[in-house]
């Protein structure tokens, strides 16, 4: 082992020791394990039997049960798996197959190992177990038979279930069993990519094609469990298995796994190394929930996409002090989480080499590629028709909205014109009302007009009536000022319609008239 690797790993162990010592009682560390596949000897272990949420590394258990049923002759790799409505409804990552779609078990296993499709894994469980509950029973029975002790299985795809636990030790036992019991299927775990139709999907395992000798097996991620991986690598004919769980990002998970491989390949095993079976049972009674740290709601949801997939760090802190971030503030109040890592301070500037070119393996629906292509073409045509129908419906709805807008505009214009036509009449009425109020305020009534003015009673401000010429009356010897006083009497006396009385004539005037 080179001095560089030794120095890096010694610093890592010092970091881990400090974390475990600093953690309060009940502190939990992320599980890490390195084991030699052929001998089962443990090279390095930390929290290896602690319970942990497995996420999609559950699909390794699903694959073992399926391959075991094939070995028993109960099914074959050519058996058709049908996608049910329940399977199609599973959340991503998924292929998105419609209910009723069929594919071979062989293609289904390739898809769940590379794409980690939850809908396909669910369909495998339903078809091979009769139901999800029946398949979970097969998973638990098989786990006990091959020597897994801490695992409890309830679904075949690893989507969150608080009852579903495993451990790093159990996953190492499972990985060894897959490589030992199904040597002809080892290639299933090292496929760099699959091609379905025109789509190419790369394996989520960021070690494949980037770390020399990496040849499997499976990654997984859920918020409660963090980023997990069961990885295998071979160097000089020696194969190691590394299990890393609870990491805050896919990149950190890959780098830590690579560090562990570097360390493990530099170590030899002997009688002093423990076996997997000899690892002591854990005192931890339940799997810790990593959600408060891994999936901060204020940051984008992390994804398990291998190379370049990063999770958001806790605000105000960087990747290099992830250990401190996961102490009591990030954990449930009842316990503190000491996040055991391998030299986290060095991860910021480190990365794995670029990925080698992908070598996609063709997968299809139906019994064979020809049938699959026909079915795929039919589905594409149906999807195209659906898109066209949706586009047509959208255009029709847009047309209806436009027509409704035009009609509303027309009605608004007509209403505006009607209001404009009604404005003169309203103005005239308002003016008449204003004049009437003004006259009433002045103490006069509009209809009380003196007859001497020559204006008929029926005359108003809006009707033009020609006044008849006044009939001249006989001249009377009256005093001019008396007649004027009679004409200027108040309007209240004019309402009685009484003619003003003539002024009294003097006796002298009568005598002159008689003459």
Q: Render pLDDT for 395-446 as a digit per residue (tens, 0 to 9).
A: 999 999 999 999 999 999 888 888 888 777 777 777 778 878 887 777 655 5
Q: Count the neighbouring beta carbons within 10 Å of the beta carbon of residue 459.
A: 16
pLDDT at site 443: 64
Topology annotation, domain 3-367: Beta-lactamase (3.40.710)
Nearest to 217 by CA among 161, 179, 264, 262: 179
pLDDT at site 28: 63
Q: Count the neighbouring beta carbons within 10 Å of the beta carbon of residue 422.
A: 10
The annotation status of 384 as a binding-site residue, yes or no, is no
| Residues 486, 500 contacting (CB under 8 angstroms) | yes
Structural Rg of the chain based on CA atoms: 48
* Pairwise pLDDT comparison (383 vs 167), residue with the higher score: 167
Residue 316 has pLDDT above 80, yes or no: no
Alpha-carbon gap, residue 106 to 79, rounded angstroms: 8
- Overall average pLDDT of the 379-392 stretch: 89
On average, the pLDDT of the chain sits at 79
3-state helix, strand, coil in the chain (%, to 5): 45, 15, 40
Residue 21 has pLDDT above 90, yes or no: no
DSSP string, 285-354: -S----HHHHS-TTSPPP---STT--PPPPTT--GGGHHHHTSGGGS-TT--B----S-GGGSTT--PPP
- Overall average pLDDT of the 237-263 stretch: 95
Question: How sure is the predictor about 144, in pLDDT bands with cuts at 50, 70 and 90?
Answer: very high
Residue bearing tokens 């393996």: 361
Provide the residue ranges of all domains of the chain, joining segments of one domain with +: 3-367, 368-419
| Residues 210, 355 contacting (CB under 8 angstroms) | yes
Question: How sure is the predictor about 348, in pLDDT bands with cuts at 50, 70 and 90?
Answer: low
Residue bearing tokens 């599973």: 90
Residue 337 has pLDDT above 90, yes or no: no
**Share above pLDDT 70 across residues of the chain, in percent, rounded to a whole number:** 71
Alpha-carbon gap, residue 48 to 276, rounded angstroms: 9
Q: Which of 123-132, 136-145, 351-360 has the lowest mean pLDDT?
A: 351-360
* Pairwise pLDDT comparison (280 vs 11), residue with the higher score: 280
Question: How sure is the predictor about 305, in pLDDT bands with cuts at 50, 70 and 90?
Answer: low
- H or E segment and range at residue 34: strand 32-36
Alpha-carbon gap, residue 14 to 414, rounded angstroms: 85
Burial class from Cβ neighbours inside 10 Å (0-12, 13-18, 19+) for residue 346 reads: middle
Judged by DSSP in three states, 116 sits in: coil
2-11 per-residue burial string, b: 16 or more CB within 10 A, e: under 16: eeeeeebbee
* Pairwise pLDDT comparison (408 vs 343), residue with the higher score: 408
Nearest to 211 by CA among 167, 259, 178: 259
| Residues 127, 81 contacting (CB under 8 angstroms) | yes
| CA count, 13 A, side-chain hemisphere, 476 | 13
- Overall average pLDDT of the 455-468 stretch: 49
Q: Is the peptide bond before 367 cis (omega within 30 degrees of 0)?
A: no
The tens digit of pLDDT for each residue in 170-209 reads 999 999 999 999 999 999 999 999 999 989 999 999 999 9
Question: How sure is the predictor about 15, in pLDDT bands with cuts at 50, 70 and 90?
Answer: very low
Alpha-carbon gap, residue 221 to 227, rounded angstroms: 5
- Overall average pLDDT of the 438-458 stretch: 57
* Pairwise pLDDT comparison (417 vs 55), residue with the higher score: 55
pLDDT at site 220: 96
Q: Which of 77-86, 219-228, 326-335 has the lowest mean pLDDT?
A: 326-335
Torsion angle in degrees (nearest 10) through CA of 12, 13, 18, 24: 110
DSSP string, 252-277: HHHHHHHHHHHHHHT----TTSPBGG
- E strands, 213-265, are 214-222, 226-235, 238-247
The tens digit of pLDDT for each residue in 65-114 reads 999 999 999 999 999 999 999 999 999 999 999 999 999 999 999 999 99
The tens digit of pLDDT for each residue in 25-49 reads 346 689 999 999 999 999 999 999 9
What distances in angstroms separate CA 2 from CA 5, 256, 323, one per listed residue? 5, 18, 27
- Overall average pLDDT of the 454-478 stretch: 49
Residue 286 has pLDDT above 60, yes or no: yes
Burial class from Cβ neighbours inside 10 Å (0-12, 13-18, 19+) for residue 418 reads: exposed
Q: Which of 3-7, 373-377, 387-391, 425-429 has the lowest mean pLDDT?
A: 3-7
Model pTM score: 0.68
Query: Mind telling me the catalytic residues?
Result: 56, 59, 116
Nearest to 249 by CA among 297, 341, 158, 312: 312
Assigned token pair, 190: 């090292």
Residue 386 has pLDDT above 80, yes or no: yes
Question: How sure is the predictor about 509, in pLDDT bands with cuts at 50, 70 and 90?
Answer: very low
Judged by DSSP in three states, 214 sits in: strand
């Amino acid at each position: 082992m080179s001095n560089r690797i030794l120095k890096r790993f010694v610093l890592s162990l010092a970091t881990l020791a400090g974390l475990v010592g600093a953690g309060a009682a009940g502190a939990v560390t992320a599980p890490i394990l390195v084991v030699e596949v052929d001998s089962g000897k443990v090279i390095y272990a930390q929290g290896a039997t602690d319970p942990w949420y497995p996420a999609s590394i559950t699909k390794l258990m699903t694959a073992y049960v399926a391959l075991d049923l094939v070995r028993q002759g109960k099914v074959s790799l050519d058996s058709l798996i049908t996608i049910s409505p329940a399977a199609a409804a599973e959340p991503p990552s998924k292929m998105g197959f419609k209910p009723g779609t069929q594919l071979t078990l062989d293609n289904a296993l390739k898809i769940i190992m590379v794409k980690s499709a939850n809908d396909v894994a669910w369909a495998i469980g339903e078809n091979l177990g009769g139901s999800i509950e029946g398949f979970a029973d097969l998973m638990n029975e098989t786990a006990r038979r091959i020597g897994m002790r801490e695992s409890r299985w309830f679904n075949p795809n690893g989507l969150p279930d608080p009852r579903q636990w495993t451990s790093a030790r159990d996953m190492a036992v499972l990985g060894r069993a897959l490589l030992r019991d199904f040597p002809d299927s080892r290639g299933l775990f090292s496929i760099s990519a699959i091609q379905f139709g025109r789509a190419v999907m790369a394996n989520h395992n960021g070690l494949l094609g980037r770390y020399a000798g990496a040849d499997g097996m499976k990654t997984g991620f859920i918020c409660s469990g963090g980023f997990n991986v069961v990885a295998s690598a071979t160097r000089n004919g020696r194969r190691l298995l590394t299990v890393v769980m609870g990491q805050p990002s896919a990149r950190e998970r890959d780098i830590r796994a690579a560090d562990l491989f570097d360390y493990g390949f530099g170590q030899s095993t002997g009688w002093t190394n423990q076996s997997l079976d000899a690892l002591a049972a854990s005192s931890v009674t339940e799997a810790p929930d990593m959600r408060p740290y891994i999936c901060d709601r204020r940051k984008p949801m992390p994804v398990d996409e291998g190379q370049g997939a990063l999770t958001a760090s806790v605000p105000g802190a960087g990747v290099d002090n992830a250990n401190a971030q996961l102490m009591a503030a990030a954990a449930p109040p009842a316990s503190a989480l000491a996040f055991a890592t391998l030299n986290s301070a060095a991860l910021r500037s480190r990365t794995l080499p670029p990925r080698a070119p992908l070598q996609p393996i063709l997968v299809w629906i139906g019994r064979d590629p020809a049938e699959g292509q026909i079915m795929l073409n039919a589905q594409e045509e149906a999807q195209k028709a659906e898109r066209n129908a949706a586009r047509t419906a959208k255009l029709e709805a847009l047309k209806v909205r436009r027509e409704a807008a035009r009609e509303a505009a027309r009605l608004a214009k007509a209403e505006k014109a009607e209001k404009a036509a009604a404005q003169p009449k309203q103005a005239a009425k308002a003016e008449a009302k204003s004049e009437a109020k003004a006259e009433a305020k002045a103490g006069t009534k509009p209809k009380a007009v003196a007859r001497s003015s020559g204006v008929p009673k029926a005359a108003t401000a809006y009707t033009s009536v020609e006044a008849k010429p006044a009939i001249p009356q006989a001249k009377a010897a009256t005093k001019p000022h008396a007649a004027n006083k009679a004409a200027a009497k108040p309007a209240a006396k004019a309402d009685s319609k009484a003619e003003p009385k003539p002024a009294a004539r003097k006796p002298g005037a009568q005598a002159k008239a008689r003459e």
